[in-house]
Structure 1
Amino acid sequence: MESITRKPELPFLNPVERGAQIQSPNNRSLLHPSSADDLHDLICVGFGPASLAIGIALHDAMDPGLNPNSAAAGFQPKVCFLERQKQFAWHSGMLVPGSRMQISFIKDLATLRDPRSSFTFLNYLHNKDRLIHFTNLGTFLPARIEFEDYMRWCANRFEHVVSYGQEVSEIVPGKTTNGVVEYFVVRSRNTETGEMTSRKARKVVVALGGRAKMPPGFPQDPRIIHSSKYCTGLPSVLKNESESYRIAVVGSGQSAAEIFHDLQRRYPNSKTTLILRDTALRPSDDSPFVNEIFNPERVDKFFQLPAEEREKRIAIDKATNYSVVRLELIEEIYHTMYLQRVRNPDERQWQHRILPERAIGRIEHHNPAQRMRVHVRSVDGKAEGKEILEVDALMVATGYLRDAHEQLLEQVRGLRPAGQAAWTPGRDYRVALDGEKVSSDAGIWLQGCNEKTHGLSDSLLSILAVRGGEIVSSVFGEQLSGQAQGAPLRAML
């Protein structure tokens, strides 16, 4: 990261400073702001990468420079994005120093859909006067902090159509005509004032992202922190970086490994322990042929498979994304462990330890002035695997749940087709609703929670550019005829 040249007047800023930057009206996207009282054509719940990609795809569809013959010229849909956070942020708690992206910069928010877009990562670099300097790095994998800055750069062009600090509480059926719902009402709460606001929309995209998954039985304690809050939450608990803290990390994936590795730099005098159920840290499989499962066209093939076959495919390809670590990081961690072995063969006396085939049995609560007691047990029940760790903090890197849409759509469940017990998204991510109860002009789309139907790439960045175009095409249909937004790249050039 140190070798990336920056313009003096445009440094990397912390989230608060970056959020305070004001974009010139001339740099705004082509989307037009609307009043909360308007009947919106589209409301996106959540403004993370998925919704941002949708906004970019809609902007590009309306751009006469990209689509000179498109019917979208002059098209001004009423669109609004609602976001709980006070500003755009992407995994701010995991912007670990030195961490890099795990996908190519070409899989940004626009390039695979249309490389002519002004929202490509390369155009971002050009705008920041870093294009040639990035080229000199000789890599396709930007620093994670730089890619977050790229997405924030894109998001700033949509600030006029985003309502930040709005936590959506529910989506309910709106006005009916002859028993048919014509639109939906999206209710949200201002996170600062508590004021409730209701907005109407014919079409709603729900893109909430994942929520922290904590193992059952873990007590609520400010010293027990999910990995999503590592960079933002841990410093407020362990305030003295020179202190001899004791810190445990549970998990066997990339986040757990990054945290375990970074703790040794952040708190150099601390004792750290990594607890994992597996026998070892395993490398992710990002080899070329295997990596093709994340190609946009693979979504079509996966969606057409029977449910049983989809489940098998996910299990087979799990090593590309779940409980795996980049090989380079594994090698760095192993080197650290080896040097400890050189100095002292007794692993129990090491400053940094890895406990494989272990799980946390229980955590004894103490007041803040005392350390927590973490009871570690062998996953196979053997007595020799038992150990008690006294720790000042426990980092939990056990992944995310992607079911937040269930509660949000509770009041809409009655509009599903008869006999349907779960939300069923189509290939275009539009959920099935009873045509006798809901107008064809109204609909709901789900994003980031469709792994079972759309494949492993569903919650990842890899297909966001193309998927954003597919959503725009599905939502606005003939209003954007003249440019098939969801078409493969070769058909668009």
Structure 2
Amino acid sequence: MSASMHYDIIGVGFGPSNISLAITLEEEAPGTRCLFLEKEASSEWQTGLLLANSDIQNHPLRDLATPRNPRSYYSFTNYLHEKGRLFEHLNMGLYYPYRYEYRDYIKWAAEHFNGSVHYSTVVSGVRALAQSDSDARFEIKTTAGKTYTCTNLVVGTGRTPYVPPVLSGLSRDQLVHGAKFNNILGRLNAGEVNSVAIVGGSQSAIEIMIYLADKFPHVAVHGVSRKFGYRLKDTSPFTGEVYFPGFVDLFYSSKPEHKQRLKDDLNLTNYSASDADVLDELYRTLYRDKHFGNNKLKVHNSVEIVSAVTVGSKVSLELIAAHSDENITSLEVDMVISATGFRDFGPLAHQELCPALLDSVYPLLEKDEVGEMRVGRDYRLALEGLDGLGLYLNGLCESSHGMGDAGSLSLVSIRSKNILDSIKQLSTANATSANLMKTEA
């Protein structure tokens, strides 16, 4: 293998987590030989949900750099300054910036690292190789036939979208995950989709309902939720401490049963709930729809989907009311949007044991009795017999590290610092080991 293709660090994926890592490397470890591989043509963020007037859900200063380095060039505040919009932005009095503006900020930061990123590059496989203790490395192959090697591999690909099994039999023309909602805008504009069911109780589900009601008068919109009503997100400053670095320590060191209790207690900080302004807007939209007799918006709450089958060009959903085993209704729509979140790591049906990218490495990983990967506090996965390699999960570890790894940007900069510090320690240990081997020889 050519030395020019070997790197100290390779990151797969170049979304917010690995962009933050690139910033941390530039500021704290300049000269590190690193490369990032991204399957898309550019670094984008939440492109599937850039809806009009939608905002972010974390404080804007919990950005790609500020919590780690408040003086960073790559802060959101400096982005506004560089773009000449700082005073106008401050004058709006927004607590949460618009989502499209934060997307532009993330893309602006990413563009500073174009020389270290290969875009439109799909990784087809990862292997751990070791001809000797001093020659251990990861081998990364791409669909274009290129091969790279590295000592430290950082996986920052984002979590796998979750679709309930009852919907999984639908075709790609009839089902889309909420994170890819914008992919169907062309069909909506063309009038090919005239009725939609949005499954789930997340903020994304409600934002999609509001957007469809506002932008597509011809579309009948059905909200389908297991809960009695769409719920208010827990925005208490006390529960907001789940996004503190100290909470990560608390959660990580807790016993499994205590972690589960914390998850249950804190569920509404992030799942199946929405901000008050979005809930209020949906309720007003429903009210106006009913008043004017449009009958285009309907909410089906306290229901379970019993089956989802194709009937001609339609999707037929059978719904059973939670309060009655016999109250079964049928709902026919052109398309189903599954706004149902993402998979976490674990052995349960709605989870996955490891990222698909690491399938070939999984047998080498240290695991617990149910096959779940053992993740270190530094986000490192331990490889049996390959102590010199660093394999890290960047933004994928909610099951082991808590809500801060559940897609929020709040801890990306701190997590990047944790990973870099671990890589530095590993490099020092490898150098010490190599010197000992030379001395013994």
Q: Same fold (TM over 0.5)?
A: yes
1:73-222 aligned within 5 A: 75-177=30-132, 182-189=136-143, 195-218=144-167, 219-222=170-173
Alignment counterpart, residue 375 of structure 1, candidates 276, 293, 318: 318
Q: Does 1:251 align with 2:218?
A: no
In structure 2, what is the equivalent of residue 472 of structure 1? Answer: 420
In structure 2, what is the equivalent of residue 424 of structure 1? Answer: 374
1:437-452 aligned within 5 A: 437-440=385-388, 442-452=389-399
Distance in 2 (CA, whole Å) between partners of 1:249 and 1:476 is: 46
Task: Please tell me the residue identity of whatever aligns with 1:235.
Answer: L
For the aligned residue pairs, the C-alpha RMSD in angstroms reads 2.3
| Runs (5+) with no aligned partner, structure 1 | 1-34, 63-74, 190-194, 481-493
1:270-419 aligned within 5 A: 270-343=219-292, 350-367=295-312, 370-384=313-327, 386-402=328-344, 403=352, 405-417=354-366
**Aligned with 1:288: secondary structure?**
coil
Distance in 2 (CA, whole Å) between partners of 1:272 and 1:417 is: 47
The count of residues paired between Structure 1 and Structure 2 equals 416
In structure 1, what is the equivalent of residue 23 of structure 2? Answer: 56
**Aligned with 1:400: secondary structure?**
coil
Deviation at 1:449, TM superposition (A): 2.3
User: 8 Å contact 2:193–2:334 — kept in the other structure?
Assistant: no
In structure 2, what is the equivalent of residue 41 of structure 1? Answer: 8
Alignment counterpart, residue 180 of structure 2, candidates 224, 229, 241: 229
Between 414-423 and 155-164, the greater mean CA deviation after superposition: 414-423
Deviation at 1:289, TM superposition (A): 1.3
Task: Please tell me the residue identity of whatever aligns with 1:275.
Answer: V
Change (3 A) 1:139 1:174: same
Distance in 2 (CA, whole Å) between partners of 1:212 and 1:286 is: 25
Distance in 1 (CA, whole Å) between partners of 2:209 and 2:77 is: 32
| Runs (5+) with no aligned partner, structure 2 | 345-351, 429-441
Between 151-160 and 244-253, the greater mean CA deviation after superposition: 244-253
Change (3 A) 1:221 1:42: closer
Task: Please tell me the residue identity of whatever aligns with 1:379.
Answer: A
Change (3 A) 1:375 1:135: same
Distance in 2 (CA, whole Å) between partners of 1:162 and 1:463 is: 23
CA deviations over 1:401-420 (Å, ceiling 9, x no partner): 24484432233234335877
Deviation at 1:174, TM superposition (A): 1.9
Between 221-230 and 128-137, the greater mean CA deviation after superposition: 221-230
TM-score (norm 2): 0.88
Distance in 2 (CA, whole Å) between partners of 1:166 and 1:244 is: 33
Deviation at 1:145, TM superposition (A): 0.3
Deviation at 1:439, TM superposition (A): 4.1
TM-score (norm 1): 0.79
In structure 1, what is the equivalent of residue 438 of structure 2? Answer: none
